[in-house]
Amino acid sequence: MDRVEKIVLAFAAGLLGIFFLALLAAARLQGIDVPPCLPPEVRPFTEGRVDTLPNGTRQIFYVARMWRFEPEVVEVPAGQPLDIFLSAADVTHGFYLSWSNANLMAIPGAVNAYRVRLDKPGVYPIVCHEYCGTAHQNMVAYLVVK
Amino acid sequence: MAAMEKTELAPFRVSALSRALMAIEVTLPILLLVLGIYHGFLQTLYRAGVIQSPSFAGLSYYQGLTLHGVINAVVLTTFFGVAFGNALVSYYLQRPLIPWVHLLATGMMVTGTLLAAVPMLLGWADVLYTFYPPLKAHPLFYIGAALLVVGSWVAFFGWLPLVARFQKENPGQPLPLAVLGILVTFIIWFLCTIPLAIEVLFLLIPWSLGWVDTISIPLARTLFWFFGHPLVYFWLLPAYIVYYVMLPKLAGGKLYSDYAARVAFLLFLLFSIPVGLHHQYTEPGFDRFWKGVHAMLTFMVAIPSFMTAFTVAASLEYAGRERGARGLFDWMVRLPWFDAERPLVAYSLAGLLIFIFGGITGIVNASYNLNQTIHNTGFISGHFHMTVGGPVFLMILGMSLELFSQLTGKPIRLKGWNVAVPYLWMLGLFLFSPAMMYGGLLGQPRRTNMGLSYLDPNSPHFRADWVPTAYLTGIGAAVMTLAFVVYLAVWVATWAGEPAAEGGYLYFPTAESLHPVASTSSVVMRLRPWLVVALLLIAVSYWAPLRQALRTPQGAPPYAPDNPVPLIQVKK
């Protein structure tokens, strides 16, 4: 390899290294991460519900099924931590809470989870973004932040 | 003194049987593409709300989406990989293919394609090319897909004795670069289709036939993506072979470095496969650590692409200077962008320009937590139309026509139109992909008939902010479709023309290396050590994720795409 090739190779590797460190920094320092791996004892659930923990954290248990989310409309206060749990009752579904990082797959047999905090009041659509059958495009829920 | 590689070889005459089979291998997928491209365009109309219906002209949205994916991304690419490999191996080794192997391989692939086409066209397999269990398709769909894949294995196995004989008869002579490239392509393909075969043969087919009630979805998905990402390198590497081996010569220059080209191919062998978890970042059940490992390995596989960008650009710069260029950028202007006698240059250059953006957006997708903002949105579709729908697709079009012309002895007609095709396609794509990606950043889901809800002003789910990008994708897709129509016209005119020479002679322009070729004792001249490391990397990166996928005890019964009640009632 000649000198130019070595420089280019080092530049490419260095650039990717910097990108990777930036991703790790975002995960570690800012808490922006991919969904965690829950212990296998956490079993899938078949009914949607909302719990409020003593410290004010809301826990929403979403069930994705052909072709709706349960619960369909939930109101939460702005600026509070929100724990989302997601279970698929039939086939594989997607879950994308608009304008947030809560972008999840609902997989039959497993429970997905993500924590968000929504500071801005408004109506946040939750869109199913994984093909789940003929009425996939109608599968929407709403999170109302007040 | 480094070993000399013989670059220019005489045209090689293939047997009448191979000639007929190869003509089928390049023609059948182009015919099927008519359907695949038609429905690609239609999808953008559904998504923009121009068509507000579950189906149009007898084809439903999701049925068409299945056809679009299966034909364009699987049938076309697999047939082309095999046809191009058959041609490269015959020409560069100057040896005829083994007749019965060639017949068996092509026979299996054609049979598989036709078998899978039946349920798809009847609407019995609306499960998209990624299968998506527990949605269930007709067993013929899976059986046809398996036959297509195994047929391509047979073709690959048929090359190996020819390669072995070449090496035995030419000690001290390196394997021709094109042959190394196609071998790496098909080793990757063979390794990654093993998990796919396991998924199809042991999970999907018994389950779709009703022999077992349930299958594990995390396991099926992990096996699928074990295959699903290396698949994209199977698509891409044939185009790289042209960029390295033929493009420098066609552009009037030399390959900057044969050594770097070999290193790039071998790095793809190492890093193409242990990366599949980056399609599963947003799924439950896998440790973050292993998702991170796959993210890092995905970054590693970007390195041979960076190297390729450099080597190909350096080769083109050399060609430009040979053509009289001065200064920093003049070489770009001097390249034969629109030379109607060398259409592969146009198909290559347009593909390379597109791939700059395809590669960069791919790094975005690979970026672990950054993927949270774009997973399963239109951003992904926008990205891969600049990879598989960019350099890969254009190379398949350009090279298929070239092969068709050589096999039939008919010169390409409408030559001026032919070199316009890649640039017209690029123009359409540069509208389509950014619009699709911007829409994705606004939250538009991929693979969704949006005209029935989000893009319908009368729906409670209407999203006014999604309208402009959805329309723009439609305009881009219309231009892309027009490019394909022009291409078809070129193909038909060529086919209808008179042969100018006897058909069946294969010839590929082959560039010399500017820098010396490595010695035959160099590690880049050997495949086995790289293969061992590749297998080790696969074992290390997939051991834990596969165990984690197996941890989910509960299986899923099959579902029809139009019914929330499972096809089999399973007792809890």
Contacts of B555 in chain A (CB under 8 A): 109
Instruction: Please answer yes or no on whether A131 and B448 come within 8 Å at the CB atom.
Output: yes
**From B224, B385, B484, B487, active-site residue:** B385
Q: Are B432 and B476 in contact (CB under 8 A)?
A: yes
User: Which residue is closest to A64 within chain B, CA to CA?
Assistant: B564
**From B68, B383, B393, B413, active-site residue:** B383
As a whole number of angstroms, the distance between CA B147 and CA B57 comes to 30
Low-confidence ranges of chain B (pLDDT < 70): 1-7, 553, 571-572
Other Cβ atoms closer than 10 A to B514: 17
Tell me whether residue B383 is one of the annotated catalytic residues.
Answer: yes
* DSSP-assigned states of every residue in B323-355: TT--TTTHHHHHS-TT-TT-HHHHHHHHHHHHH
**What's the pLDDT score for residue B571?**
62
Instruction: Please answer yes or no on whether A2 and B257 come within 8 Å at the CB atom.
Output: yes
Put simply, whether B131 touches A (Cβ < 8 Å) is no
As a whole number of angstroms, the distance between CA B531 and CA B554 comes to 36
As a whole number of angstroms, the distance between CA B355 and CA B534 comes to 26
Domain B16-550 has CATH 1.20.210.10: yes
The token pair at B222 is: 């992990």
Residues A87-120 pLDDT 10s: 999 999 999 999 999 999 999 999 999 999 999 9
Q: Over chain A, what is the mean pLDDT?
A: 95
Nearest to B132 among A1, A92, A109 (CB): A92
Put simply, whether A12 touches B (Cβ < 8 Å) is yes
Question: What's the Cα-to-Cα distance from A85 to each of A51, A120, A125, B372, rounded to whole Å?
Answer: 11, 21, 17, 16
Contacts of B310 in chain A (CB under 8 A): 5, 8
Pairing of strands B59-60, B55-56: antiparallel
Contacts of A129 in chain B (CB under 8 A): 375-377, 445-446, 448
Tell me whether residue B384 is one of the annotated catalytic residues.
Answer: yes
Best residue in A127, A139, A143 for a mutation probing chain B (most B CBs within 10 Å):
A127
Put simply, whether A67 touches B (Cβ < 8 Å) is yes
User: Which residue is closest to B567 within chain A, CA to CA?
Assistant: A90
Looking at residue A123, the DSSP 8-state letter turns out to be: E
Tell me whether residue B221 is one of the annotated catalytic residues.
Answer: no
Instruction: Please answer yes or no on whether A103 and B375 come within 8 Å at the CB atom.
Output: yes
Residues B68-112 pLDDT 10s: 999 999 999 999 999 999 999 999 999 999 999 999 999 999 999
**What's the pLDDT score for residue B552?**
73
Tell me whether residue B268 is one of the annotated catalytic residues.
Answer: no
- For helices B177-198 and B528-550, the axis angle rounded to 10 degrees is 20
Q: Are B467 and B455 in contact (CB under 8 A)?
A: yes
- Banded model confidence at residue A41, pLDDT cuts 50, 70, 90: confident
Selection from B426, B419, B417 nearest residue B489 by Cα:
B417
As a whole number of angstroms, the distance between CA A5 and CA B40 comes to 40
Q: Virtual CA dihedral for B38, B40, B43, B45, nearest 10 degrees?
A: -60
pTM of the complete model beyond 0.90: yes
Instruction: Please answer yes or no on whether A137 and B450 come within 8 Å at the CB atom.
Output: yes
**What's the pLDDT score for residue B172?**
84
Which residues lie across from B215 on neighbouring strands? B556
Instruction: Please answer yes or no on whether A103 and B515 come within 8 Å at the CB atom.
Output: no
CA distance A91 to chain B (A): 6
Contacts of A10 in chain B (CB under 8 A): none
Instruction: Please answer yes or no on whether B257 and A92 come within 8 Å at the CB atom.
Output: no
Q: What angle do CA B195, B238, B80 make, to 5 degrees?
A: 75
Put simply, the chain A residues between 74 and 133 with a CB less than 8 A from any chain B CB are 86, 90-92, 94, 96, 98-99, 101-105, 107-113, 125, 127-133
The token pair at B19 is: 């000639």
- Quick one: average pLDDT of A67-81? 96
Q: Are B530 and B441 in contact (CB under 8 A)?
A: no
Contacts of B447 in chain A (CB under 8 A): 130-131, 136
Residues B143-158 pLDDT 10s: 999 999 999 999 999 9
User: Which residue is closest to A98 within chain B, CA to CA?
Assistant: B443
Domain ranges of chain B: 16-550
Other Cβ atoms closer than 10 A to A50: 14
**What's the pLDDT score for residue B519?**
84
Instruction: Please answer yes or no on whether B282 and A34 come within 8 Å at the CB atom.
Output: yes
Q: Are B511 and B249 in contact (CB under 8 A)?
A: yes
